[in-house]
Amino acid sequence: MVNDLIAGVAAGLRPGKHNVRLADIVTKLQAASHEQAAEMLLRMPDARAVGALDRPEFEAAPDVLALLPLHRATRLISEMSQDRAADVLAAMGDDADPILAALTPDVRGSLDALLAWPADSAGGMMTTEYVSVPAAGTTVARTLDHIRTVERSRETVYSVYLLDEAGVLVATVSLRRLISADPDSLVIDLARGREPVTVLPTTDREVVADLIRRHDLLAVPVVDDARHLLGIVTVDDVLDALVAEHTEDAQKFGGVEALDRPYLDTGFLSMIRKRAGWLSVLFLSEMLTASAMQHFESELERAVVLTLFIPLIMSSGGNSGSQATSLIIRALALGQVRLGDWWRVALRELPAGLVLGGILAIVGIARITLWQKLGFYDYGVHWPLIAATVGAGLIGIVTFGSLCGSMLPFVLQRLGFDPASASAPFVATLVDVTGLVIYFTIALAILSGTLL
Amino acid sequence: MVNDLIAGVAAGLRPGKHNVRLADIVTKLQAASHEQAAEMLLRMPDARAVGALDRPEFEAAPDVLALLPLHRATRLISEMSQDRAADVLAAMGDDADPILAALTPDVRGSLDALLAWPADSAGGMMTTEYVSVPAAGTTVARTLDHIRTVERSRETVYSVYLLDEAGVLVATVSLRRLISADPDSLVIDLARGREPVTVLPTTDREVVADLIRRHDLLAVPVVDDARHLLGIVTVDDVLDALVAEHTEDAQKFGGVEALDRPYLDTGFLSMIRKRAGWLSVLFLSEMLTASAMQHFESELERAVVLTLFIPLIMSSGGNSGSQATSLIIRALALGQVRLGDWWRVALRELPAGLVLGGILAIVGIARITLWQKLGFYDYGVHWPLIAATVGAGLIGIVTFGSLCGSMLPFVLQRLGFDPASASAPFVATLVDVTGLVIYFTIALAILSGTLL
């Protein structure tokens, strides 16, 4: 993708010669050491520094701000968009305290309100810089006048929110609807005859993203239980949330706790911590494979030839399981499949597993037959029985893997966990242990009296 | 997430009592059979049917449209937003031909232009329904008038595009800037002194999403090589593209070719085809494990105890490899790591692998010692050497897995592939085969003269 990106930049994106884009400044700041970045920020005019700090891609912002003189850091924080300023302060931890203390009570009050919500909730993503007008009696012309006076100080104006005297959200009116309307008409008459889509401050960012996407909104209002307007979540923050969610899911799927910083900025020890936990859990569960093998030790000693196919059979089970898991996790996340659909999924995965296992069984049996006939390897006089064992084992394990892999996300969701934590390695471990038992049970059934 | 969604809907989202939302209609249409959905569409007024068809979540739209009478289908397609209509027609395949033939030459012309580009490029995502005015001499007031007259027929008006006489894009002006400006001023004077961010129709959807996100745009203009404006890609389409990309990545990571339809709507045979290919490729590569095991058969026969730990050691290598892969794939996708950074990554993964392998080695050695001392299992008189073999094997394989897993995405990207295709099972297979060789080589070094 980066290759495409560079090509895209070279071909489609022709930046103006004299104006450095904010996005490029941020790239430079991110690439520099924290000390260098602080130097660069100090030399920038406030407006540019604020613009750079406002970008979520400037992930080193909390560390860099901590290096700036207090008065400058405080001024920059005051001028940043409030939702981003709250995120940066939250990431600064104790370093934020002197800045918070130096802020004017006004700014500090609204930042405190934002800091109260978790970063991955609507409350943590929202900005309080929306445009609102009284619902009763306001004309379109007055609304447009109001927008003109506040436009510069608001992060984004896509819609105007109509409030009653108590601050309760009555309706939303989009900018383009305002422009097209008769200036003398009442703005409340432009609102469609339905209540606006809203979220609570505690609503999860994934749900917010889903609502914005499904209703093609540019911003969604955040209201409290009494429908008082608290703030808005804008589409640009939702884009960033979707990308963060994507990263988190990919890392969970790979069996890593989500990193808080970009890969190269994550400290060595913190990186080890994020990985060692899951790796050890998987290792401890995988130890059951050694126990399973020990259980079948006498069979192993009598027929060492069986061990040759253990890695092959185990990995096929793991692969079919991770296929099923990745399909179902996304189908659940997108709402294409619901909890109650588990039996429909099971009814599809059972025959799918049988067919996929059958395909691999044919390939596996062909491989053994070929090697035996061509003299590449001698599996002994009972080689057709061994081929049959491997074939039957593959069918059993791939079917079991598909079923396990598809059902685990349902189980996790039912228990209240994120189904994405049913990461592929977890399924693989589950399937490995049971797969060995399936394989040896089939071997006993087929080979008992001959090899075993 | 679906649980949260339902809770979110119940708590935060209070739909108006009398108005059914389009998103809800789409949910119903998706849940119904194609025949039922066609019936429902037939009974809806055109505006509502068009609204539903316009939603990308209505994934059955191509199948349902094919069941409608030709004259109705044609009318609906004509009234749909052009980018979505083009996507639906493309998905209908041959079924689209009678509709295309029945369209007016105008509509057909612009749809043909959109159908020419791949669905995952800017050209395939763009709409031609943008608002443009001549760059020279147009006042703000005239521009606003123009917007008022066309507002109803345009999907989204976020910005106005200023074109010269040849249709070349000169500048973009946002709606909120227009509103705040003096009506008598020239619109060209509102454009900032820099060329607008643009993309080519061939630009990949991921790049488009990244530009929109990094520059906080609501729409990005699509231009040809001579900078003629061809269309715009809007933020709502980008949100959909990001979600589709997320799904595709998750499926690739799970070793499945991306499905074209939701899980439950994908035909059984098509599902088998999407999975059997990768599963067979992985199976064939994994056959090398059988070859590796055959190579060490005499060692296996002399020390069956070594086989007990094969699944444990192989899976640890696979897990550490998939951790590293998932971290690097996302870091590359987000531009946090670039191709030239491969050596910095390798310099981190080498010590990380050693430490992680060391942790697992301690656990593994403790397990063997404990089982031996407590009498759970007898690993023979040479058990300390076996424990040492397992420990050294774990360090070697986890280090190798971390290195392989982190370097493979770089190699794939360098070769021009999507690094996301370095799916976890692929890395696991690679690490399985080499892991066995590492394990047996270490065993030979440590145990030769005693067990081997």
Give the CA distances from residue B240 to residues A210, A334, B209, B406, in Å, rounded to whole numbers and listed in that order.
Answer: 10, 11, 10, 29
Q: What is the mean pLDDT of residues B127-153?
A: 84
Nearest CB among A240, A345, A355 relative to B272 is that of: A355
* pLDDT the model gives residue B11: 34
Tell me the chain A residues in contact with residue B223 when contact means C-beta distances shorter than 8 Å: 12
* pLDDT the model gives residue A193: 65
Nearest CB among A23, A151, A309 relative to B176 is that of: A151
Least trusted range by pLDDT, from A226-230, B286-290, B437-441: B286-290
Tell me the chain B residues in contact with residue A263 when contact means C-beta distances shorter than 8 Å: 327-328, 330-331, 336-337, 345
Instruction: Enumerate residues 6+ apart whose C-beta is below 8 A from B421.
Output: B252, B412
Residue in chain B closest to A248 (alpha carbons) equals B330
Q: Which run of H or of E encompasses B219? A: strand B219-223
pLDDT at B19 over 70: no
The answer to whether residues B57 and A214 touch, using CB atoms and an 8 Å cutoff, is yes
Structure tokens, B251: 């499926």
Residue in chain B closest to A275 (alpha carbons) equals B323
Higher pLDDT, B17 or A32: A32
CB contact under 8 A, B275 and A320: yes
Tell me which residue of B77, B161, B156, B73 sits closest to B111, measured CA to CA.
B77
Residue in chain B closest to A157 (alpha carbons) equals B176
Tell me the chain A residues in contact with residue B122 when contact means C-beta distances shorter than 8 Å: 12
Tell me the per-residue pLDDT of B234-287, one tens digit each, with 9 for 90 and over: 888 888 888 888 888 888 877 777 777 788 888 888 888 888 888 888 888 888
Report the C-alpha gap between B324 and B327 in whole angstroms. Answer: 5
Tell me the chain B residues in contact with residue A404 when contact means C-beta distances shorter than 8 Å: none
* pLDDT the model gives residue B155: 54
Tell me the per-residue pLDDT of A270-285, one tens digit each, with 9 for 90 and over: 888 888 888 888 888 8
Structure tokens, B373: 């001392």
CB contact under 8 A, A213 and B200: no
pLDDT at B390 over 90: yes
Tell me the chain B residues in contact with residue A148 when contact means C-beta distances shorter than 8 Å: 179-180
CB contact under 8 A, A331 and B148: no
Report the C-alpha gap between B235 and A242 in whole angstroms. Answer: 13
Tell me which residue of B188, B178, B199, B58 sits closest to B135, measured CA to CA.
B188
Report the C-alpha gap between B127 and B51 in whole angstroms. Answer: 16
CATH number corresponding to A2-116: 1.25.60.10
The answer to whether residues A197 and A222 touch, using CB atoms and an 8 Å cutoff, is no
Superfamily of structural domain B20-116: MgtE N-terminal domain-like (1.25.60.10)
Residue in chain B closest to A224 (alpha carbons) equals B12
Tell me the per-residue pLDDT of B301-348, one tens digit each, with 9 for 90 and over: 888 888 889 888 988 998 899 889 888 888 888 778 888 999 999 999
Burial of B209 (0-12, 13-18, 19+ CB in 10 A): buried
Disruptive mutation site among B308, B362, B397 for chain A (greatest number of A CBs within 10 Å): B308
* pLDDT the model gives residue B5: 33
Residue in chain B closest to A13 (alpha carbons) equals B198
Averaged pLDDT of chain B: 84
Using 70 as the pLDDT threshold, list the residues of chain A that sit under it. 1-20, 151-156, 192-194, 422-423
Q: What is the mean pLDDT of residues B389-400?
A: 94
Does the pTM surpass 0.80? The reply is no
Report the C-alpha gap between B245 and A41 in whole angstroms. Answer: 35
CATH number corresponding to A132-234: 3.10.580.10
Tell me the chain A residues in contact with residue B341 when contact means C-beta distances shorter than 8 Å: 264
The answer to whether residues A152 and A178 touch, using CB atoms and an 8 Å cutoff, is no
Q: Which residues partner with B228 through β-bridges?
A: B168
Tell me the per-residue pLDDT of A23-81, one tens digit each, with 9 for 90 and over: 788 888 888 888 899 999 889 888 889 888 888 888 888 889 889 988 898 999 888 88
CATH number corresponding to B132-252: 3.10.580.10
* pLDDT the model gives residue B7: 34
pLDDT at B403 over 90: yes
Q: What is the mean pLDDT of residues B358-382?
A: 90
Tell me the chain B residues in contact with residue A352 when contact means C-beta distances shorter than 8 Å: 268, 271-272, 275
* pLDDT the model gives residue B206: 81
Structure tokens, A446: 């087929």
CB contact under 8 A, A282 and B316: yes
Fold exhibited by the domain A263-447: Tetracycline Repressor; domain 2 (1.10.357)
Three-state secondary structure call for residue A283: helix
* Residue positions counted in chain A: 452
Residue in chain A closest to B298 (alpha carbons) equals A304
pLDDT at B27 over 70: yes
Radius of gyration of chain A (CA): 30
Radius of gyration of chain B (CA): 30
Q: How far A101 CA lies from chain B's nearest CA (Å)?
A: 31
Report the C-alpha gap between A202 and A182 in whole angstroms. Answer: 38
* pLDDT the model gives residue A10: 34
* pLDDT the model gives residue A2: 35
The answer to whether residues B262 and A331 touch, using CB atoms and an 8 Å cutoff, is yes
In chain A, domain spans: 2-116, 132-234, 263-447
**Which DSSP string do the residues of A413-442 spell out, in sequence order?**
HHTTS-GGGS-HHHHHHHHHHHHHHHHHHH
Tell me which residue of B425, B428, B398 sits closest to A280, measured CA to CA.
B398
